[in-house]
């Protein structure tokens, strides 16, 4: 995108002085949406050979929300985005870019981000990005870079997932683990400086050689084979603990911070045991780790923004707090984002 090209009719080019100052991407608002229907482990165990005790003990999951037909990826993303905009006190017309992370878009194209753009009445541009459960962190990193470079001033970063569509409901090893939902944040260009709010660092990683331990054996847009999620749970677990531990250490080192500086860990919500391992690594007491996996299960790209939104709305996360977000997902992909709220 040309620096001088307005992203919406009323957008002014960012003055040279501000560009040199490198604006910081500030989380100005958060929002979330969960489908109305929740399915408990007990309910699931009526159709799948499993039990509440097994699921809770291995994963910490107690229930998951499952989308109704009208609760599409775009529908949920739009509701989450509306709530994030309202929390930021902003209008859709002020949005320069919509970045939507999903592995379950409604269509091969147009991008679900553009369905959201139309529903919101937003201008600018938008696109989907695919990094499975790390998608929101990847979206945050991409939008942060565009804001820091002075290309845009405001972005909606959304994670929205309808994993119930890609579950093999006969496979008890996977279908008990996931849920549907959407989370969103508004990022706005703000001033950089010590103690001021904003995203302080992002770190992204992937290793395509590990693609076969967690994948979907079909494709969006293929009516004959939309695909089901296939997972080697043990291998994913092993890599998740190692890689996520590395990535939180990396974020601390890059910012010259001791782990005691972190106020909140907002981890990807895949499994309580993985979350506990990372919290322990940071020396954080359980009450400083935002955990929604019991009620949401794993909502993939939506899990971090949904958890962030919950803790911001209930007043746990306050302005000025230092929040470390991390995720790992199919690909494998993984990464972290450190933000002062
Ligand atoms: N209910 C009852 N029994 C089950 C279920 C179930 N839902 N699922 C599997 N089992 C059985 C297996 O058949 C097996 O039985 P067997 O010993 O008679 O063969 C037994 O339980 C043990 O199976 P494992 O797969 O070895 O169980 P494990 O202890 O590894 O737990 C789990 C499985 C929970 C999936 C674990 O490996 C895990 O959490 N992995 C991480 C996966 C993950 O989080 N993926 C999310 C996507 S990636 C991400 O977001 C990080």
139: helix, coil or strand? helix
State if residue 156 touches ligand 1 by the CB under 6 angstroms criterion: no
The Cα 106–Cα 127 span in angstroms is 13
Q: Is the minimum distance from the CB of 237 to ligand 1 under 6 angstroms?
A: yes
Domain boundaries, position 27 = 1-341
Task: Using the atom order of ligand 1, give the atom closest to the CA of residue 177.
Answer: 46
DSSP 8-state secondary structure symbol assigned to residue 203: E
* Catalytically annotated residue among 203, 239, 268, 296: 268
Question: Rounded to 10 degrees, what is the CA torsion of 69, 74, 79, 82?
Answer: -160
Please count the structural domains in the chain: 1
pLDDT class of 177 with cuts at 50, 70, 90: very high
Supply the CATH number for residue 167's domain: 3.40.47.10
| Weakest mean pLDDT among 123-127, 131-135, 282-286, 292-296 | 282-286
At residue 209, the pLDDT reads: 97
Q: Residue 265: enclosing H or E segment and its boundaries?
A: strand 264-267
> Residue 294 in contact with residue 307, Cβ under 8 Å?
no
Kindly report, residue by residue over 71-82, the tens digit of the pLDDT: 999 999 999 999
Number of residues written out for the chain: 341
* 262-271 residue pLDDT tens: 999 999 999 9
Rounded to whole angstroms, the Cα distance separating 300 from 215 reads: 13
Pocket test for ligand 1, best of 58, 240, 336 (most atoms within 8 A of CB): 58
Dump the DSSP string for 173-184: HHHTTB--EEEE
Long-range contacts of 45-54 (CB under 8 A, 24+ apart): 47/169, 48/169, 48/170, 48/172, 48/175, 48/176, 49/172, 50/172, 50/176
Say whether pLDDT at 218 is over 90.
Answer: no
User: What band does 20 get if pLDDT is binned at 50, 70 and 90?
Assistant: low
């Amino acid at each position: 995108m040309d620096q001088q090209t307005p992203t919406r009719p009323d957008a002014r080019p960012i003055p040279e002085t501000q560009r040199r100052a490198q604006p910081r991407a500030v989380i100005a608002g958060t929002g979330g949406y969960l489908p109305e229907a929740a399915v408990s482990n007990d309910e699931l165990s009526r159709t799948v050979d499993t039990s509440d005790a097994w699921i809770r003990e291995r994963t910490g999951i107690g229930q998951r929300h499952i989308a109704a037909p009208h609760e599409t990826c775009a529908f949920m993303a739009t509701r989450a985005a509306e709530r994030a905009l309202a929390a930021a006190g902003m209008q859709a017309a002020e949005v320069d870019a919509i970045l939507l992370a999903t592995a379950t878009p409604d269509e091969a194209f147009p991008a679900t981000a553009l369905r959201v753009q139309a529903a919101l009445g937003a201008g600018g541009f938008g696109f989907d990005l695919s990094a499975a459960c790390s998608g929101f962190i990847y979206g945050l990193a991409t939008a942060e870079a565009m804001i820091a470079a002075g290309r845009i001033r405001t972005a909606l970063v959304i994670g929205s997932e309808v994993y119930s569509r890609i579950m093999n409901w006969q496979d008890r090893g996977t279908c008990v683990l996931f849920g549907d939902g959407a989370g969103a944040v508004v990022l706005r260009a703000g001033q950089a400086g010590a103690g001021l709010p904003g995203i302080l660092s992002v770190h992204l990683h992937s290793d395509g050689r590990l693609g076969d331990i967690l994948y979907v054996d079909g494709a969006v847009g293929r009516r004959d084979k939309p695909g089901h999620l296939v997972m080697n749970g043990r291998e994913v677990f092993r890599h998740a603990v190692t890689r996520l531990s590395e990535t939180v250490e990396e974020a601390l080192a890059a910012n010259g911070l001791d782990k005691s500086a972190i106020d909140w860990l907002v981890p990807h919500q895949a499994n309580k045991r993985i979350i506990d391992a990372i919290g322990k690594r940071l020396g954080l007491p359980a009450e400083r780790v935002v955990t929604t996996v019991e009620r949401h299960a794993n909502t993939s790209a939506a899990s971090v923004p949904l958890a962030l939104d919950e803790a911001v709305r209930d007043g746990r996360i306050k302005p000025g707090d230092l929040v470390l977000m991390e995720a790992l997902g199919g690909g494998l992909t993984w990464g972290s984002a450190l933000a002062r709220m």
